Amino acid sequence: QAYIVMEYLAGESLAAALRRTGGLAHEPVTIAAIVGQIASALAAAHRKEIIHRDLKPENIFLSIEESSRAPFIVKILDFGIAKLAAPGAGGSNTRTGGLLGTPVYMSPEQCRGVSTIDRRTDIYALGCVMFELATGRHVFIKDASGDLLVAHIIETPPRVSSIRPEIPAWMDELVAKMLSKSPDDRPSSMDEVVSEIEAFLQVGQSEFASKVLATGALGRIATPRKRSSAPVALSGADA
């Protein structure tokens, strides 16, 4: 019989955490620690010429792991529409005029349906996620998907500091750069994003998870209950 073996993750998605907390403007260290983990994981994928293309809070999971000293470890899920960017790679499901992704987080070039999507489209999407972590809202707020696509292509995104002035200046600048319309104006790689976060947190990327505040808003994920090994007696109604 065919079957699939998957890793079991206990915790919650970043989307659920944002609904619970409404944003993390007062916790820039936690924002940096989360984004740094995402960027370092995507940097590894990009080195294998894999582009996610659908990065969003629903696809980012805050995983509680008993062996870790950190409140949670960030995991990236759902590479279902990932594109192989290697020259000559077969099986790509990108085509000119085809739209794949989630409009709230799609880069301008992705919104236009161009076939030359590269790692910088993930950088734009991560900028959208970082904006949402800092402000508690999306970059563009529109009623229709088509309006969102147009906004990503032609509208100037608001600065994080215009909504949450308490955000550090470096973070405001980094998000603005990641949300640049032209891919050439964004950070050249996820490694560049990681370097900025390392400079702020004063730790290497392997220590990003340890910088999340255990007492902070996102550190209070409900710990899953352990499954008891004791036999369970069923009543007649349960049976």
The sign one gets for the Cα dihedral 30, 35, 41, 43 is negative
Cα separation of 217 and 128, whole Å?
20
Distances (CA, A) of 104 to 150, 153, 186: 11, 12, 18
Short-list 183, 54, 47, CA closest to 129:
54
42 Cβ neighbours under 8 A, 6+ residues apart: 52, 55, 76, 119, 122, 126, 190
Quick check: is 54 catalytic?
yes
List 54, 78, 184, 185, catalytic entry: 54
- Structure token pair of residue 234: 């069923």
Q: Catalytic site residues?
A: 54
